Amino acid sequence: MSDYKTYSMELGGRTLSIDIGRVGKQANGCAFMHYGDTTVLCTATESAKPRDGVDFFPLSVEYSEKFYAIGKMPGGFNKREGRPSENAILTSRVIDRPMRPLFPKDMRNDVTLECMVMSVDPACRPELVAMLGASIATSISDIPFDGPCATTQIGLVNGEVIVNPGQDDWDKGDLKLTVASTAEKVIMIEAGANEIPEADMISYIYKADEINKQIIAFINNIVAEVGKPKQEYISCAIPEELFAAMREIVTPAEMEVAVFTDDKQTREHNIAEITEKLAEAFAEKEEWLAILDEAVYQYEKKTIRKMILKDHKRPDGREITQIRPLSAEVDIIPRVHGSAMFTRGQTQICDVVTLGPLSEAQRIEGMDPNITEKRYLHQYNFPAYSVGETKVSRGPGRREIGHGALAERALLPVLPSVEEFPYSIRAVSETFESNGSTSMASTCASCMALMAAGVPIKKQVAGISCGLVTGDTDDDFVLLTDIQGLEDFFGDMDFKVTGTHDGITAIQMDIKIHGLTRAIVEGAIARCKDAREFIMNGVMKDAIAEPRPTVNEYAPKIEFMTIDPEKIGDVVGQRGKTINEIIKRTGVQIDIEDDGSVSICGNDAKGMAEAKRMIEMIVTDFEEGQILDGTVVSIKEFGAFLEFAPGKEGMVHISKLANRRVDRVEDVLNIGDRVRVVCLGKDRMGRISFSMKDVKNK
């Protein structure tokens, strides 16, 4: 008799089943998830005591992909899974974002959510299973959690809406929408879309929300049967008596003066002075000094939220719909293939585009069999100096990877096809200065840099972020267009939307509260549409209105040709000898596909033309009467051997060298001579013969 319970429901036309108590019994909560043949182990664990010295809730989310799940050996020498893939990092972030707000804000115990992919059924995406499993494992555990939440994915293929699509439909569809909800409200939205109109996107979001409510009812039944009582935790909230003492020394009016300025550095200086003043006043209260920085942060937060909510007064004096001052320019970096800079207030991004042959596309080793390489890459860097800090760079973190992926999704729908533009493309966004929503500035800068590089994108794309401050009721809220860093830190939402004039291409929504009403979601999407139209019609259009007709002079040029697939071996040669010789002589890069497609890439037009001539010569059979130019590579007593292209030679008999008797080949030719010959066809032995003396007669 089994000592565990299994719960099942029909979801998207397939059976979702969860084993509780079967494995992972020492974790605080464990859900062994099965959806079709996809299996994901999800666990939630919590430390016994709060972590010392932190002023935030230490939540860690790990989504790990095991290659045995798809019957593959890991690549590399070690044959062991290494650092998480980009997909794993992005999935971890999508699990984190809806769940983090549901934990107590004043809890400091470490919590780790781990989701391990053990088997993959392409019809049932493991990412979705992990999102559900993390919520279930936490909900049935004794970890304080104001859930459950549920997640649904929506795809759109040929106009048909698909709930929780399989991998094929997810990859090829016009919509990749992920929505997480509590029982009452939407709590997270992530989307990549092929210019989906705003009204349609809202309907898809709330279709997912309806399904989430059904899943939550299912989870609640599981919790009612096997859920553990939630344990008490040590609250690390700031004592109210400390706030009262602070208000006596620094009045709310004084705090308002300190924080309401459009210059980030001035504000930080003012807060530092206030902190120093309070530290002097509380010099004898060591327990207060230990938490003073957090207390000042909370005081600043309450002040700003009150002014925004009650008076619609923003820290920098803007109206709630007003965008910060904008500027844009292209070609700011010499000799690169394309560059642009976009500035919005104290947020500034420089994007640089590099073009290369298709062979330089990034190779992908992951769970999705449909994606083995990426032709377009967008990468985002966030150095410490951009926020006036000093910190050694340790490479891109999860935030940087997430921001890069968001801008990448934003621009994918407008990129030209491989047939239209046979290049691999890398865009790198360098953050020069940051004060809120650098990912949206990165989208704008990348769009302009692509056009400056001569990439024939179909339409302009811009992005903007909308913020939120809420009151005590669902109807008491203020939406803020173009939030700066302070409004992000102290507000309740960071709702990023990118798109063209015709529709949405990407969404990423982060919130710090227990969900959004439909009025907030619809208002934020509408506000973002107005703002991105303003940006595209203004500074972006003024900087560069359309893609340049040709690629930059420093970018490689690419020429395509097609050969008979059966001739590929002739071009490549034994162990690559022939093709490598062509590359060596011409300085180009050559890539050959199995279907006979050949791309020749280089910066020198003459070298590219010569490489094309050589390939054409190699794959073309000799015909009688054909005039050819060849180089003497060998001299024998009976004639000379000419090379017409690497790996393709022919012989001129001594009797065919001139219209006179030739006793020695060396009397007419030397090695290295470039000569013109005519093909005479096959001789009596079936060999192809050539003549120098008969060229004039042809």
Residues 157-191 have pLDDT tens digits of 999 999 999 999 999 999 999 999 999 999 999 99
Q: What is the predicted pLDDT for the residue at 681?
A: 86
Q: What's residue 683's pLDDT?
A: 77
Last residue of a domain, one of 588, 619, 650: 619
Residues 202 and 298 in one domain: no
- Mean pLDDT, rounded, for 231-250: 92
Radius of gyration, CA atoms only, the chain: 33
181, 213 Cβ separation under 8 angstroms: yes
Is there a single domain that holds both residue 586 and residue 567? yes
Range of the domain at 38: 5-155+195-226
**Same-domain check for residues 357 and 217:** no
- Is 485 domain-assigned? no
Considering the domain architecture, whether residues 611 and 678 belong to the same structural domain is answered as no
Which CATH number characterizes residue 614's domain?
3.30.1370.10
pLDDT-derived band at 1, boundaries 50, 70, 90 = very low
Residue 189 counted as domain residue: no
**Lowest-pLDDT range, 175-179, 500-504, 692-696?**
692-696
Partner residues linked to 599 by β-bridges: 560, 591
Query: Residue 419 has what pLDDT?
Result: 87
Give the count of domains, the chain: 5
The whole-number pLDDT of residue 287 equals: 87
Q: Pick from 311, 337, 357: which residue ends a domain? A: 311
pLDDT at residue number 305: 93
* Choice among 120-124, 148-152, 417-421, 496-500 with the minimum mean pLDDT: 417-421
Asked which of 217-221, 438-442, 675-679 is least confident by mean pLDDT, the reply is: 675-679
pLDDT band at 685 (very low <50, low <70, confident <90, very high): confident
Q: What pLDDT score was predicted for residue 2?
A: 63
Q: What is the pLDDT of residues 641-666, one digit of tens each?
A: 999 999 888 899 998 898 889 889 99
Q: Confidence class of residue 697 from pLDDT cuts 50, 70 and 90?
A: low
Task: Examine the domain organization and report whether 295 and 330 are in the same domain.
Answer: no
Burial of 524 (0-12, 13-18, 19+ CB in 10 A): buried
Residues 132 and 244 in one domain: no
> Does the pLDDT at position 398 exceed 60?
yes
Identify the weakest region by mean pLDDT among 258-267, 347-356, 580-589: 258-267
**Going by DSSP bridges, is the β-strand pair 639-645/589-592 parallel, antiparallel, or unpaired?**
unpaired
Whole-angstrom distance, CA of residue 693 vs CA of residue 698: 10
Residues 286 and 376 occupy one common structural domain:
no
Region 499-523: what's the mean pLDDT? 96
Question: pLDDT, tens digit, for every residue of 451-493?
Answer: 999 999 999 999 999 999 999 899 999 999 999 988 999 999 9
Q: Which is nearest to 196 in space by CA: 532, 504, 509?
A: 504
Q: Are residues 367 and 408 in the same domain?
A: yes
Q: Note the pLDDT tens digit of each residue in 358-387.
A: 888 888 878 888 888 899 999 999 999 999
Report the range of poorest mean pLDDT among 123-132, 199-208, 577-586.
577-586
501 within some domain: no
Mean pLDDT value of segment 69-96: 90
Q: Which of 336, 411, 408 is nearest to 378 (CA)?
A: 408
CA dist 176 and 192 (Å) reads 5
What are the residues whose beta carbons fall under 8 Å from the beta carbon of 306, sequence distance 6 or more? none
Does the pLDDT at position 698 exceed 60? Answer: no
Q: Are 557 and 458 in contact (CB under 8 A)?
A: no
Angle subtended at Cα 437 by Cα 431 and Cα 439, rounded to the nearest 5 degrees:
60
Same structural domain, 94 and 29: yes
CB 589 within 8 A of CB 601: yes
Q: Is 500 part of a structural domain of the chain?
A: no
Phi, psi (rounded to 5 degrees) for 679: -80, 130
The enclosing H or E element of 660 equals none
Among 265, 287, 311, the domain boundary falls at 311
Q: Please report whether residue 162 resides in a domain.
A: no
Tell me whether residue 427 is in a domain: yes
Sequence-distant (≥ 6) Cβ neighbours of residue 323 within 8 angstroms: 344, 464, 481, 482, 531, 534, 535
Q: Are residues 394 and 360 in the same domain?
A: yes
| CA angle centred on 667, ends 663 and 672, rounded to 5° | 130
